[in-house]
Structures are given as C-alpha cells and as structure tokens.
Amino acid sequence: MRRSKLEMYIDILKVLARHGPLKLTHIMYKANINCSVLKQYLDFLIAQNLVEEKSLGKKRIVYATTDRGRTVLKYFRELRTVLPIVEEARMRLPASLY
C-alpha cells in the first residue's frame, strides 16, 4: 500500500526526531524514501519551519527537526489515538449516511 504525502512527511519527522541530525542518505534509508522525492519533501518541511538544514564542516550537511516540527509530530501522535474511535463509529453507520 502506498503512503500518502502526509504519511511520508510524518515518517521523515519521526526519523529525525528519533535519531537526531542526519545526513540525506541516512534519512533516505531509515524513512524508506528515494533520494529525489526526499529532497522535495525536505524542501517543503524546511519551508514550513519543521526541519532545519545545518552545515557541519565544509561539506557535511545534516537535517534536524525544529521545535515546531516536534510539536507537529506530537499533535499527530495524539490524533492517531483519536482516529480509531472515529473510524470505528463510522463503520457502524449505514453506508447511505456518507
């Protein structure tokens, strides 16, 4: 089953929150996302101030979650605990109501 963009964004944030600042290739393997897609998604997350790019030395660039990124991740964890209840209630409704 394919992941949505939102799921992939969350996966990237989870990897960075769990493992700390990482290089692009390490994020790629841990989040299971190909390089070109990962670059696009990181650009989006950086523009939203959820991830920051840091330079270590002359050539080494790493990525890390910002405080805002960790907050967003926390909200998604809370949301996942509520969603099964909503989905369960929806399954009990007759199909004609949705």
Mean pLDDT of the chain: 86
CATH of the domain at 63: 1.10.10.10
Task: Give the containing element (helix H, strand E) for 83.
Answer: helix 67-92
Q: Residue 83: which domain range?
A: 5-97
The total number of structural domains that make up the chain = 1
Pick 7 or 51 by higher pLDDT.
51
Alpha-carbon torsion, ordered 11, 30, 48, 61, to 10 deg: 170
Instruction: Please give the pLDDT value at position 92.
Output: 64
Q: Is the pLDDT of residue 24 over 80?
A: yes
